[in-house]
Chain A
């Protein structure tokens, strides 16, 4: 069943969640809506920061820090550098034809409707949540899980990052044959 939060006597955590959710959705929408790519990048940065706030709210400190470092530190720097390198910060983008844009909006509404209806009608979630009191998301526990059960995927992730690095260098290198 859906529990409608009563806004009259909301706890501080509910207020924080609502504010963070509004910031996340608004900046995600503005990322797509704003004309200049640089403005989109700044909005995306705020969106990622608010998602880090959600992680902190769920008390998963490790993922909050990783999100801060990987997404806000690394990925946003890459995107911003690419925008500046290609000098793309212009507003001369041609829009798609009107029928395609209308189709995009209809797809957005239908997908929201279908997914939300699906989750509402799926197995109802019991009102009370179990708390085992056991520590499951500190860095100590996560490190043990990562290096015991997920040892092989963890090593393959490092291989993947190495391959991605080599691939990025090869792809963006200037070809000498096309003089």
Chain B
């Protein structure tokens, strides 16, 4: 089986992942809605996962894919806990605007 990277090139995957990661950072900085911030974090995680798989193919090694598997498990746990926190914030404050969460400000 010939290597798929012969036709595409690893650098195109690197650029795609970098731009996807930067879009995620942009979303975290740009929006105030906490759910959108959450989705941006998911986009960043996916960008890194994609790069892991690309490099796993580049080195012809299974370890990168195992790492992606673990990062997916952590992402699932993170989303479950984070959305539960969002629900309880919404119950207490009637908003999930991150600009309003400033009770800890001195």
Interface size class of A (residues with CB under 8 A): 35 or more
Judged by a CB distance under 8 angstroms, whether B5 is at the interface is: yes
Contact A111 B39 (CB under 8 A): no
- Chain B 1-25 residues near chain A, CB threshold 8 A: 1-12, 14-16, 18-25
Selected contact of B23 from candidates A28, A51, A83, CB within 8 Å? A28
Interface string of B30-53 (1 = CB under 8 A from A): 111101101110110010011001
Contact count A vs B, C-beta below 8 Å:
229
Contact A168 B25 (CB under 8 A): no
Contact A63 B16 (CB under 8 A): no
Contact B32 A93 (CB under 8 A): yes
User: Provided the pairs A29-B23, A48-B46 are in contact, do residues A164 and B72 lie with their beta carbons within 8 angstroms?
Assistant: no
Judged by a CB distance under 8 angstroms, whether A78 is at the interface is: yes
Interface string of B60-76 (1 = CB under 8 A from A): 11110110111011111
Enumerate chain B residues within 8 angstroms of A29, measured Cβ to Cβ: 23
User: Provided the pairs A28-B24, A88-B96 are in contact, do residues A58 and B53 lie with their beta carbons within 8 angstroms?
Assistant: yes
Judged by a CB distance under 8 angstroms, whether B79 is at the interface is: yes
Contact A119 B7 (CB under 8 A): no
Selected contact of A111 from candidates B6, B22, B40, B70, CB within 8 Å? B22
Contact A112 B18 (CB under 8 A): yes
Enumerate chain B residues within 8 angstroms of A8, measured Cβ to Cβ: none
Enumerate chain B residues within 8 angstroms of A62, measured Cβ to Cβ: 65
Enumerate chain B residues within 8 angstroms of A88, measured Cβ to Cβ: 33, 35, 96
- Chain A 123-179 residues near chain B, CB threshold 8 A: 125, 128-134, 136-137, 141-142, 145-146, 150, 153, 157, 160-161, 163-165, 167-169, 171-172, 174
Across the A-B interface, give the 5 residue pairs with the lowest CB-CB distance, nearest first.
A164-B77, A104-B29, A32-B27, A171-B84, A108-B26
